Chains A and B, each alone.
Chain A
Amino acid sequence: MHKKTRTKALSTAALLTVGVFALSACGGGSSDDANAPVAQVSAESGTSKAATVLDKPFEKPDLILTDTNGKKYDFRAETQGKPTLLYFGYTNCPDVCPLTMNNLAVAKKEIDKSKQLTQAQKDSLRIVLVTTDPERDTPSALGKWLKGIDPEVIGLSGDFATIQAGARQLGITIEAPTKDKAGKVVSQHGTQVIAFSPKTDGGYVLYDEDATVEDYTKDMPKIIKGENP
């Protein structure tokens, strides 16, 4: 615990340092209005909110797919009354998809250490990855990939049209994978993670690609309780 605090203090110092450097680099010689304002700006940019709470939550999409064990998974039925984080991505994706899934998985591990939540609350959290590239991401391929991130994440594959329609119900547009001139498959991932409330089952919070482990770790306990982050 003590060590954790130190790390935090360090990174705050880092932000301040950046602020000071920004001043000396840009401000040039004539700077009477020296340090304070810049430091404030840095602090603000460091704490900008990753979550967007929706005025009008999304209804849970009707997604009946196949999980990594090859079993039928009815998203609405299985996640009913459970705090759920949903992402649309694919495994042949080097950057944003693994980053997003790792951010969620690492945040979940952090939450598992929390004393603010009961074990039942922690166990209620569902993290779901729906592939946007079901042809390559078969249930077993998804399962193998998720083992490298967190085997508790639910990976779903199935008919592309079903997946596309489900994403559309959340305002997420995903085009079917195509082949480029070299014959390589080009897939598309979603750019958002949607959090569903255990109280209302509505998709009420959106996170974009810039959301970090820290953002998710901070917000997850609230989502688990169905509160606004």
Chain B
Amino acid sequence: MTVPGRRAVAFGVAVAVAAVLTGCGSAERSSAKAAAEPELRVTGAYMPAPVTDAMAAGFFVVRNSGGADTLLSVRSDLANQVTMHSTKDGVMQEQKTFSVPAGGTLNFESGGSHLMFEKLTHKPKQGEKVTVELRFRKAGRIDVQLPVKPPTYNPKSGR
């Protein structure tokens, strides 16, 4: 019990630090590189352990230190269908694309936007890693590993 707990804490720290760092850096870089190629980095990715094999969510942050880009599609071996959703007032809305602003971030975070995996090939367990291919208009394909976290995992507290 304590070992995964501590790991989660360490993970949370890394995410939080990264968030703060890039949050500040973006303002300085955006003007200089507005027209440049996107420079994407995906951080803080995770999947809360799903309740059943019918459905799961995925979260991550795309950090862009370059020019604007667009997230076009998502694919994973875990599910035939992976879709991207935004959420407003408790209603999920499927979106075809998500923009990644120049020098900014695209957040897929609990309560906001998320990946939705449907009809899973199996129910992933805590500690497993789910691979997801993100396809961007300019940056192309970026593969991301989503570690499966406890169902109550909160990136803010790292638990």
Mutual binders A and B = yes
A103 and B152 in contact, given A94-B117, A186-B93 (Cβ under 8 angstroms): yes
Q: How far is the CA of A156 from the CA of B51 in the complex (A)?
A: 18
Chain A residue at smallest Cβ distance from B3: A3
Partner of A96 from the list B13, B23, B111 (CB cut-off 8 Å) is: B111
Q: How far is the CA of A46 from the CA of B12 in the complex (A)?
A: 13
Classify chain B: how many residues form its interface, as a range: 35 or more
A94 and B57 in contact, given A209-B111, A212-B152, A213-B152 (Cβ under 8 angstroms): yes
Q: A10-B9, A94-B117, A96-B110 are in contact. List 12 more A-B contacts (CB 8 A).
A: A6-B2, A7-B2, A25-B25, A94-B55, A94-B114, A95-B111, A98-B51, A148-B51, A149-B151, A184-B94, A191-B90, A209-B110
Complex contact A17–B13 (CB within 8 A): yes
Mask of B48-91 contacts with A, CB within 8 angstroms, 1/0: 10111011110000000000000000000000000000010111
Chain A residue at smallest Cβ distance from B109: A95
Q: How far is the CA of A212 from the CA of B1 in the complex (A)?
A: 19
7 residue pairs of the A-B complex, CB under 8 angstroms, read A91-B54, A94-B56, A95-B114, A99-B110, A148-B51, A212-B156, A213-B154
Query: Chain B: residues with CB nearer than 8 A to chain A?
Result: 1-2, 5-6, 9, 12-13, 16-17, 20-21, 23-25, 48, 50-52, 54-57, 87, 89-94, 110-111, 114, 116-117, 151-152, 154, 156-159
A17 and B51 in contact, given A93-B92, A99-B152 (Cβ under 8 angstroms): no
Instruction: Enumerate chain A residues within 8 angstroms of B91, measured Cβ to Cβ.
Output: 175, 186-188
Q: How far is the CA of A149 from the CA of B52 in the complex (A)?
A: 9
Query: Chain A: residues with CB nearer than 8 A to chain B?
Result: 3, 6-7, 10-11, 14, 17-18, 21-22, 25-26, 46, 91-96, 98-99, 102-103, 106, 144-145, 148-149, 174-175, 180, 182, 184, 186-191, 209-210, 212-214
Instruction: Enumerate chain B residues within 8 angstroms of A174, measured Cβ to Cβ.
Output: 90
Instruction: Enumerate chain B residues within 8 angstroms of A210, measured Cβ to Cβ.
Output: 111
Instruction: Enumerate chain B residues within 8 angstroms of A99, measured Cβ to Cβ.
Output: 48, 110, 151-152
Q: How far is the CA of A22 from the CA of B114 in the complex (A)?
A: 27
Partner of A95 from the list B16, B110, B152 (CB cut-off 8 Å) is: B110
Instruction: Enumerate chain A residues within 8 angstroms of B48, measured Cβ to Cβ.
Output: 95, 98-99, 102
Instruction: Enumerate chain B residues within 8 angstroms of A182, measured Cβ to Cβ.
Output: 94
Partner of B2 from the list A3, A21, A106, A214 (CB cut-off 8 Å) is: A3
Chain B residue at smallest Cβ distance from A98: B51
Partner of B17 from the list A7, A17, A145 (CB cut-off 8 Å) is: A17
Chain B residue at smallest Cβ distance from A190: B90
Instruction: Enumerate chain B residues within 8 angstroms of A189, measured Cβ to Cβ.
Output: 90
Complex contact B54–A7 (CB within 8 A): no
Q: How far is the CA of A58 from the CA of B90 in the complex (A)?
A: 21
- What's the least CB distance linking B156 to chain A, in Å? 8
Complex contact A96–B87 (CB within 8 A): yes
Chain A residue at smallest Cβ distance from B15: A18
Complex contact A25–B92 (CB within 8 A): no
Q: How far is the CA of A189 from the CA of B50 in the complex (A)?
A: 18
Complex contact B20–A214 (CB within 8 A): no
- What's the least CB distance linking A182 to chain B, in Å? 8
- What's the least CB distance linking B8 to chain A, in Å? 9
Partner of B152 from the list A17, A102, A186 (CB cut-off 8 Å) is: A102
Complex contact A145–B20 (CB within 8 A): no
Instruction: Enumerate chain B residues within 8 angstroms of A98, measured Cβ to Cβ.
Output: 48, 50-51, 151
